[in-house]
Amino acid sequence: MSGVRVSRESGVLFVSLDRPEKLNAIDTEMAHALREAFEAAADDDSVRVVLLMSTGRAFCAGQDLADPGVAPGSDLGATIERNYNPLIRAMRKLRKPVLACVNGVAAGAGANLAFAADIVVAARSASFIESFSRIGLLPDSGGTWMLPRLFGQARAIGIAMLGERISAEQAHAWGAIWDVVDDDKLIETCTVLARTLAQAPTRALGAIKAAFEAGWTSTLEDALDRERDLQRELGATHDYAEGLAAFGEKRKPDFKGR
Ligand code: LHQ
pLDDT at 257 over 80: yes
Tell me which amino acid residue 173 is: A
pLDDT (average), residues 125-144: 98
Task: Identify the H or E element spanning 50.
Answer: strand 49-54
pLDDT (average), residues 121-134: 98
Q: What is the pLDDT of residue 183?
A: 98
Q: Among residues of the chain, what percentage have pLDDT more than 90?
A: 99
To the nearest 10°, report the CA torsion of 4, 97, 253, 179. Answer: 90
Whether 244 is in the pocket of ligand 1, judged by its Cβ within 6 Å, is no
Whether 112 is in the pocket of ligand 1, judged by its Cβ within 6 Å, is no
* The ligand 1 atom nearest the CA atom of 135: 23
Mean pLDDT value across the chain: 97
| Per-residue pLDDT band at 2 (split at 50, 70, 90) | confident
Q: What is the pLDDT of residue 128?
A: 98
For residue 249, how far is its CA from the centre of ligand 1 (angstroms)?
Answer: 55
The beta strand positions in 86-215, using DSSP E, are 98-102, 105-107, 119-123, 127-129, 165-167, 179-181
Tens digit of each residue's pLDDT (9 = 90 or more) over 19-51: 999 999 999 999 999 999 999 999 999 999 999
pTM for the model: 0.97
Whether 53 is in the pocket of ligand 1, judged by its Cβ within 6 Å, is no
Tens digit of each residue's pLDDT (9 = 90 or more) over 145-182: 999 999 999 999 999 999 999 999 999 999 999 999 99
Cβ neighbours of residue 253 closer than 8 Å, sequence gap 6 or more: 201, 239, 242, 243, 245, 246, 247
Task: Identify the H or E element spanning 111.
Answer: helix 109-115
Q: What is the pLDDT of residue 1?
A: 67
Whether 105 is in the pocket of ligand 1, judged by its Cβ within 6 Å, is yes
